[in-house]
Amino acid sequence: MKNPPHMHPQTSSVSEGFDPTLSVMAVRPPIYPVSTYCFPNAAAAAHYFEVLLGKKDAVPGEPIGLVYARLNHPNAEMFEDSLRSVERGAHAAAAFTSGMSAITTTIFTLARPGTKILYQRPVYGGTDHVFRGILPGWNVDAIAVDPDRWDEALAAHGKDVSMVYIETPANPTLAMIDLDAMRVLVDRHCPGGGVPIVVDNTFLGPVFQSPLEHGADLCVYSATKFLGGHSDLVAGAITAKDPAIVTRVKANRAFFGTICEPFTAWMLQRSMATLWLRMTKQSKNASKLVDVIKAHPAVERVHYPTLFVGDQARIFRKQCRAPGSMIAIDLRGGREAAFRFLDQLSLVRLAVSLGGVESLASHPRTTTASEMSDEDLRASGVTEGLVRISVGVEYWRDLAKDITGALDAAAR
Ligand SMILES: Cc1ncc(COP(=O)(O)O)c(C=O)c1O
């Protein structure tokens, strides 16, 4: 029972990946809390292993049966099909235990000792820790590149680069990168082609940005955020143009043990059906709130795509379908003002994470970005007065009242 082809992602997000005939005709997917699966015969078992461990290619269209839940299981596969169907340009997807395990499993598949990863700062603090604190121990050099130095950096390191890693919009400043332009530079400077551009698309998600249609090879997601959307699970995902890359990452996922477990994968698939509704409402809410926030005297600067100027505005218009629901505010008065703002909020909860139905706020400098070096903090504009808000689905006027009261407190 297949869905018609070429459906809009809004439609495929509702039911793609689920076939009722495989599940006693249930309308929605059941959970399969099962660790191991029966093989039809011994030869099939041997073949499944060869394909799943990346030793042999599957014949196109050939269904590969289930084996053991650390390799694959129905709930992960259903979520993966659903995510693949909404990610424009994707031909495969994989689900993980967390955004960090999606990122690290991908890195340990694509990078090799002695190679370099070039990345645009800022990146999420956990990713920054892997780049600066862990990869050097494995002889992989992660080099932060300033926005206007990519040509120079790729010219200098091109032949040693195993991966270009971009977070756009970046956490927490929302800085954007032109992915089409990055593709041109990478292909110009990295001989032999094939250097993958990996994009952390967590902030705008497949709803508002399609990196694979702008020259990227892989998207990584913290599915804990918008894909999950309810702050009740931790998970991650990747999508890619080339299914062969995903097969390689999945082979490592099997050995690292980083596959998303059945219950979480089931929750993720359930969340996919409301992804468009949630993200659209959240983005509309944020756009209205920004008009209120930017007019307040406590505010030095608001980082939000509709307020971008110059090249950042051009990239937003070209690459994104909507501004999304993350707002960063630079408050006058530094850390003290930021803390007064956060402590005054009541409807908006003081917590890290983002992308849930409820609004959250945090102080990146002392929390998620606290491990960044002083140089990176300065270069990326993560100031003491910066607060980050993830806007939820509440009625926007209630949020505006809460945020205005907190801005008043910040100004005191
Ligand atoms: C942009 C971004 N990427 C990756 C991650 C890591 O995701 P997780 O917490 O699901 O491991 C986060 C977490 O906040 C994030 O904001």
If asked whether residues 164 and 282 sit together in one domain, one would say no
85 part of a folded domain:
yes
126 lines ligand 1 (CB under 6 A): yes
Range of weakest confidence among 16-25, 212-221, 230-239, 347-356: 16-25
Please give the distance, rounded to the nearest whole angstrom, from the Cα atom of residue 200 to the centre of ligand 1: 9
280 and 265, same structural domain?
no
Mark whether 287 and 261 lie in a shared domain: no
Q: Is 63 within a domain?
A: no
Q: Assess if residue 49 is contained within a domain.
A: no
pLDDT of 59 reads 81
Distance 249 CA to ligand 1 centre (A): 18
pLDDT in tens, 244-300: 999 999 999 999 999 999 999 999 999 999 999 999 999 999 999 999 999 999 999
Question: Is 70 exceeded by the pLDDT of residue 409?
Answer: yes
Q: Give the domain range for residue 95.
A: 9-34+69-272
CA proximity to 282, closest of 205, 341, 340:
205
The predicted model gives 47-61 an average pLDDT of 83
Q: Please report the atom of ligand 1 found closest to the CA of residue 171.
A: 1
Q: What is the pLDDT of residue 327?
A: 98
Please report, in angstroms and rounded to a whole number, the separation of the first and last CA atoms in the chain: 62
Residue 63 scores a pLDDT above 90: no
Query: Would you place residue 1 in the very low, low, confident or very high pLDDT band (cuts 50, 70, 90)?
Result: very low
Residue where a domain terminates, one of 220, 255, 272: 272
193 belongs to a structural domain: yes
For ligand 1, whether the C-beta of 98 sits within 6 Å is: yes
In this structure, the answer to whether residues 261 and 280 fall within a common structural domain is: no
Q: Specify whether 106 is located in the same domain as 234.
A: yes
Shared domain for 108 and 257, answered yes or no, is yes
Domain end (from 224, 250, 272): 272
Place of tokens 């955020």: 225
The whole-angstrom separation of Cα 410 and Cα 347 is 16
202 plus 262 within the same structural domain:
yes
> Region 361-374: what's the mean pLDDT?
93
CATH of the domain at 119: 3.40.640.10
The domain boundary, picked from 272, 300, 333, lies at 272
Q: How many domains does the chain have?
A: 2
Which pTM value belongs to this model? 0.96
Asked if residue 171 has its Cβ within 6 Å of ligand 1, the reply is: yes
**pLDDT at residue 4 tops 60:** no
**SS3 of residue 30 by DSSP:** coil
Q: Quick check: is 195 in a domain?
A: yes
Do 288 and 259 fall within a single domain? no
What is the dihedral sign for C-alpha 361, 365, 367, 369? positive
Chain centroid, CA 306 distance in Å: 21
Q: Is 222 in the pocket of ligand 1 (CB under 6 A)?
A: yes
Examine the pLDDT at 232 and tell me if it is beyond 60. Answer: yes
The confidence score (pLDDT) of residue 371 equals: 84
Same domain for 162 and 184, yes or no, is yes
Residue 364 lies in a domain: yes
Pair 293, 172 in one domain: no
- Centre of ligand 1 from the C-alpha of residue 26, in Å: 33
Q: Would 59 be classed as within a structural domain?
A: no
pLDDT at residue 294, rounded to an integer: 97
Give domain status of residue 64, yes or no.
Answer: no
Predicted pLDDT at 71: 93
Q: From ligand 1's centre to the CA of 302, what distance in Å?
A: 22
CATH number of the domain enclosing 299 = 3.90.1150.10
Tokens linked to 164: 């270009």
pLDDT at 203 over 90: yes
322 and 287, same structural domain? yes
Which residues, at least 6 apart from 107, have a Cβ–Cβ distance to it below 8 Å? Answer: 117, 130, 135, 140, 163
Question: Does one domain contain both 24 and 157?
Answer: yes
Q: Is the CB of 239 under 6 A from ligand 1?
A: no
Helix H or strand E encompassing 248: helix 243-256
Sign of CA dihedral 277, 11, 27, 219: negative
pLDDT at 173 over 50: yes
